Amino acid sequence: MTTILCIRKDNQVVMAGDGQATLGEAVIFKSKSVKVRRIGNGSIIAGFAGAAADGITLIERLEGKLEKNAYQLKRAAVDLAKDWRMDKYLRQLQSVMIVADKNTSLVISGTGEVMEPDDGIIGIGSGGNYAMAAAKALADIPNISPEEMAQKAMKIAGDIDIYTNHNVIIEKIESK
């Protein structure tokens, strides 16, 4: 697995993901996996946890849905989740995604869920709950930026979760 964390705070959206790739219980890459990337003309950040090929396939499908839906993230996410749940091929994909634009942060899963957090903090993957809990604890610290929160939270997740490392990729966009 992996850890993907998305934080929406102070007119910024930050998404962080570690770079470790595993195959079963063996670490294949310590730092080379890129699980967070910009899509949809650069205005959307997407991250995935789970099987790498499946995550990449889903991001490509989401890009198609974004083009079809004039880059309206919620509509594209619902279309993808519907296809993912109903299509015989897509149902087999083992991944979960976080996507965010300047207005919305969403978790998309293969069982048809499209969920938006109440507080702007989402974590997925094997270390997702650790990173999310750490980010929530850091959220009340005055003058801490979302990027600093993400770095600290991902470090904590990497210290606890054996499937998460400290080679973190961070993407950010300005929100509302």
Active-site residue set: 2
Q: For residue 104, give every residue at least 6 positions away whose Cβ sits within 8 Å of its Cβ, in sequence order, or none.
A: 73, 74, 116
Q: What is the Cα–Cα distance from 102 to 122, expressed in whole angstroms?
A: 15
- For 32, phi and psi rounded to 5 degrees? -95, -10
The secondary structure of 137-175 as a DSSP string is HHTTSTT--HHHHHHHHHHHHHHH-TT--S-EEEEEEE-
Q: Give alpha helix (H) positions in 22-71.
A: 52-68
Distance between CA atoms of residues 85 and 150, nearest Å? 31
**Distance between CA atoms of 78 and 82, rounded to whole angstroms?**
6
